[in-house]
Structure 1
């Protein structure tokens, strides 16, 4: 089957959203897709995804009376891809989100938004709400819980987690190393990675071979992918083509550079050590997602770290890609929460 590009997908009618490029501070541009009218809801994806990760949410939120806007995070898709690892620090992502809200609010008097993020997008959304509560008046976090900055340098903590093997965040640190694994077969690597974190295709903890979150000495992450190449039930071949075409065009460096800023973020955010997010918030995680099990203490700490939490949900039998694995359930929770904010 020939790969379909994102533009082909748009022309086929799969996406009814309006595609735009908006200018953000620093000379960059952010690509976004928007649907609907009403209060602004900004949707921020994680790794390795794109605006397309919110394809099931855009029309539903629009129908519910919201202006739903899904961005390509800098380094992804059609958004700017500045050179240099430091250009992907958390402060830059927060500035991009503020710039998008300002650009969309020009002439309408609306310069605030609710922000919703998944995976790395969850961390970007959380820090956007933390640093700019004047702009982001509510925040929903999917898959990755909010864990405030603490006194441990991240790369030191990740090295300790890895033990005799290498934790995946550590594996991603060296520029070019993960790219050399992924880019010769972007589509195959993405298929293995998506499947490895999906409820219906992931390797169970008791299975032989080990977790894909840990890399054996001298090995690659893909060594831990399941054999057979079965796609998870939420992902069709055509949908995988959309993701693959974007990364085949852009490469993975911009996306991986987010991981390469964990220590820089820790230094930048020192003034917000242990800081809570006080705006109304929502959390949705998957029962089988390592993010919710490893960070279970962070979820337990929500009364202190998210004092504005409206509700927290762990979806039974769900993996990491919650808004795609369980689109209807997540859509219902998001709409109920958003309507309650009014």
Structure 2
């Protein structure tokens, strides 16, 4: 009599954990067992940015771990602005790997998470043996002082990074209506809801105005439900936005801290996924063109058509497939 085909056991659901790091604690959500894949979100999100990737990576035999970066969610929120410098984020990531009982990991990030993932791979290649970057391509440290560069962008209007850099200024705009501001920001950067080409850019702020004055209003992108928006808003209403915004306020400090790595390539195995309608990708097209020199270990690079900024959510299934293909080691040649 034929035996029934075994049915694979379902992967246990995600688990929340707090781990100690030198700067305090990091909240993480983990799922699955196997090689460690550390997932880093961007602004203004949380571990939830990777909610579609966690179960898929776990089912494929990976230990998928999405963190709340310092300043977000249940992770520590130091009062000192300098505590959000890039060196501190890299130290957090190393400490998370160690707390999980591992020596090495693949690190994957989106938006600010992409930049933090790249810095982690650059500074600690002994720990981060492969790096995936979504949205923001790798550009080696160096160049002009960032605040000088930001001040030169936009002419009479202020570039949003400079707007975010002044302590308390963006908080005064966002925190009276966190949910409304987030809804507008998410919609304005999503391919299915962003303003048509030629409209005034939300990334530039006219004198005496607010960034949100140019946001799309009254609609949510397809990837975001009202309940999910409530979750995001509830977290930021509890924590405030200062910890998240302090990442922008360390641009010059990072420039100084990383001077020893000016022009340095990342040599580990790497992946880039950009988006056709994401300013983070299009503004940095020169960095993508430089990948043969700056990412000599690049094994896959994709630009997703008709995709906006929120790549892991807007194109979850496609991103999952790309990640699984990239994470699967190539078969040895006979």
Fold shared by both chains (TM-score > 0.5): yes
**In the alignment, structure 1 residue 189 sits paired with structure 2 residue 160:** no
Q: Out of 21, 25, 28, which is 1:24 matched to? A: 21
Match of 1:65 in 2: 61
Partner deviation per Cα, 1:204-263 (whole Å, 9 max, x = no partner): 2323xx100000001110000123x10001101011111111001000000000000000
Match of 2:7 in 1: none
Query: Is the radius of gyration larger for structure 1 or structure 2?
Result: 2
**In the alignment, structure 1 residue 221 sits paired with structure 2 residue 217:** no
Q: Out of 190, 199, 202, which is 1:212 matched to? A: 202
Q: Out of 137, 140, 145, which is 2:132 matched to? A: 140
Structure 1 residues 302, 48: CA separation in 2 closer, same or farther (over 3 Å shift)? same
TM-score if structure 2 supplies the norm length?
A: 0.94
**In the alignment, structure 1 residue 235 sits paired with structure 2 residue 224:** yes
Q: Tell me by how many angstroms 1:163 deviates.
A: 1.3
Equivalent position SS for 2:229 = helix
Equivalent position SS for 1:332 = helix
Distance (whole Å) between structure 1 residues aligned to residue 54 and residue 330 of structure 2 = 18
RMSD between aligned alpha carbons?
1.1
Structure 1 residues 341, 279: CA separation in 2 closer, same or farther (over 3 Å shift)? farther
Q: Tell me by how many angstroms 1:16 deviates.
A: 2.8
Distance (whole Å) between structure 2 residues aligned to residue 323 and residue 55 of structure 1 = 9
Distance (whole Å) between structure 1 residues aligned to residue 106 and residue 277 of structure 2 = 27
Distance (whole Å) between structure 2 residues aligned to residue 340 and residue 211 of structure 1 = 41
Distance (whole Å) between structure 2 residues aligned to residue 260 and residue 177 of structure 1 = 12
Given that residues 287 and 317 in structure 1 are in contact (C-alpha distance below 8 angstroms), is that contact kept between their aligned partners in structure 2?
A: yes
Given that residues 21 and 29 in structure 1 are in contact (C-alpha distance below 8 angstroms), is that contact kept between their aligned partners in structure 2?
A: yes
Match of 1:286 in 2: 275
Q: Tell me by how many angstroms 1:203 deviates.
A: 1.3
Which ranges of structure 2 fall in alignment gaps of 5 or more residues?
1-11
Which ranges of structure 1 fall in alignment gaps of 5 or more residues?
1-14
Equivalent position SS for 1:161 = coil
Partner deviation per Cα, 1:256-301 (whole Å, 9 max, x = no partner): 0000000000000000001100000000011000111100000000
Equivalent position SS for 2:195 = coil
Match of 1:7 in 2: none
Given that residues 75 and 254 in structure 1 are in contact (C-alpha distance below 8 angstroms), is that contact kept between their aligned partners in structure 2?
A: yes
Count of residue pairs brought into register by the alignment: 320
Distance (whole Å) between structure 2 residues aligned to residue 68 and residue 111 of structure 1 = 15
**In the alignment, structure 1 residue 318 sits paired with structure 2 residue 314:** no
